[in-house]
Structure 1
Amino acid sequence: MIRRAALLLALLLPMAAVAEQAGPLVTEAGVVPRDGAASGAMVWLHPHYTEGPPPEAPAFMARLAARGWDGWRFDRPPGGAVPPASPLASGVEELAAGTAALRARGYRRVVLVGESRGAFLVLAALRMPGLADAAALAAPAAHGRSAERRPQALADFAAALDRASPDALRRMALLLFEDDGWDPDPAARAGLFQAAVARLGWGALLIDRPPAPTGHGGVQEPEFDAIFGACLADFLEGRGPCR
């Protein structure tokens, strides 16, 4: 969906032969960023590690694109499906450098949207002041699905929130889904999230295991945008409480 929006924008804006970069962040090929003239920059952090094109961003991000936001993407180097050994360290500095580069280009607002490993990377980066204005984390995961890894997965989730800087964000959304085999304990993670955002003084949105959609990739299902898309886009923009 966001690529279709990007192609539409490409028809309206001057064309670039290749994707543009802001540190490690990239645009879709052929789209010229508007920098300070845009409503803001939205960064898609996907769960992809393998060769080939990354998964498309969730459909709700097209709502922000229609409101004048430029789309950027954080691509981790390919190297197989196994995540790095240190989920709380890998990619943090690179992501912070990327959002700083977006600010340097003139973007007044930056929002991050991460799915699975991409969402866990945003969690790990919360220790960096000035990271972004808002973030949405869909089914954060970085430890696999084995029962043996669940205690460490929950401990690392808690540690990332404990280390978060109050100045990293202003708003954060957490999206948890029923029947997510990668989630070590959704009820515990919901509680940890609520306690952390209260301590940090951030605006918060918790979508906690709705009846639909379900599964680890729930944010990619068409029902998600239909049910939650407008609310989540408003929340990320800071338009007020999402109901």
Structure 2
Amino acid sequence: MRTARLVLLLLALTLGGARAEEAGALRSDPSLPLRGGAAAAGALVWIHPFTRDPQPPAAPGWSHRLTEAGWDLWRFDRVGGPDPLAAGAERLAAGTAALRARGYRRIVLLGESRGAFIALVALRYPGLADGVVLAAPAAHGRSVERRPQALADFAAALDAASPDAPARLALFLFADDPWDPDPARRAALFRAAAERLGRPALVVEHPPAPIGHGGVQDPEFDAIFGACLVAFLDLDRASPAACP
């Protein structure tokens, strides 16, 4: 019986693709093929929200547009316990440097909620990535008393961004998000930072749909913004002025 179970396990691993590989704190997604730096069109790094679930959230459905176009999906997983911003940003930057060493020509970060805030803080590291998509960045809870600090930390992270910032910067802020301290102010700060850095910026503020803090996970997000966002992240063509 034990031999039969072992055979079934080996068969499942074979059919399911290679087991996860590591690049610093990043892990490849074992549910998808790993082409490798020399063959892949690029590396998409998924930075999920804070979670205590042993199984971290899957990348939003939008990610299939890149993986089906030849990109490898990597994950920056943090489960339970402390989830510090500065240390997380440092580990993320070390991970993308490891991906560069593997030969990836393009790297795009996709962060949601606390994952997005970690990516925001990581903008201080030169060579971090070629594109960054921040979906509803949050790290300070929902209390009204914490909103001034949340806004100050958002501004400070942008002020600290390296002059060698990613070539494309995108920010999505959704309506009915109790974690957002001031959508209009954050959008203005982001646009100003991108202008200072000389980078194209895509800012989507309170679209009619999807709504809520987890808007990037809604199937509507891919249907409405998917194609335009891929075009924005294509460094070989001029960026669209707005999406959709």
TM norm structure 1: 0.88
Partner secondary structure for residue 37 of structure 1: coil
Cα distance per residue 1:67-110 (max 9 Å; x no partner):
1100000012422xx754xx3x1312111110010010110100
Secondary structure in 2 aligned to 1:130?
Answer: coil
1:84-233 to 2 correspondences below 5 Å: 84=84, 87=85, 89-233=86-230
| Among candidates 45, 55, 58, match of residue 57 of structure 2 | 55
Shift of 1:203: 1.3
Distance 1:157 1:28 in 2: 30
Is the Cα contact below 8 Å between 1:133 and 1:170 reproduced in 2?
A: yes
Looking at structure 2, the residues matched to 24 and 33 of structure 1 have their Cα atoms a distance apart, in angstroms, of: 19
1:183 alignment partner, SS class: coil
Partner Cα separation in structure 2 for residue 93 and residue 33 of structure 1 = 26
Q: Which moved more, 1:101-110 or 1:31-40?
A: 31-40
For the residues of structure 2 that align with 1:203 and 1:157, how far apart are their CA atoms? Answer: 19
Q: 1:25 aligned to 2:22?
A: no
C-alpha deviations, 1:102-151, integer Å up to 9, x for none?
01011010000000000000110111000000000000000000000000
State how far apart, in whole Å, the 2-side matches of 1:98 and 1:191 are: 30
Q: Could you tell me the TM-score, scaled by structure 2's length?
A: 0.88
| Compared CA separation, residues 129 and 196, structure 1 to 2 (3 A) | same
Structure with higher Rg: it is 2
Matches of 1:148 and 1:90, distance apart in 2? 25
What is the aligned counterpart of 1:240 among 238, 241, 244? 238
Contact (CA 8 Å) 2:36, 2:102: kept in 1 or not?
Answer: no
What is the rounded CA distance, in whole Å, between the counterparts of 1:90 and 1:186 in structure 2? 26
Cα RMSD (Å) of the superposition? 1.6
May I ask how many residue pairs the two structures share in their alignment? 226
Q: 47-56 or 225-234, which moves further after superposition?
A: 47-56
What letter matches 1:135 in structure 2? V
What letter is aligned with 1:241? S
Consecutive unaligned residues of structure 1, counting only runs of 5 or more, are 1-9
Judge conservation of contact 1:178–1:209 (CA < 8 Å) in 2: yes
The share of aligned pairs that are identical, in percent, is: 64
Q: 1:223 to 1:51 in 2, by over 3 A?
A: closer
In 1, the alpha carbon distance for the partners of 2:56 and 2:50 equals 6
**Cα distance in 1 for residues equivalent to 2:231 and 2:151:** 29
Which 5+ residue runs of structure 2 have no aligned equivalent?
1-13
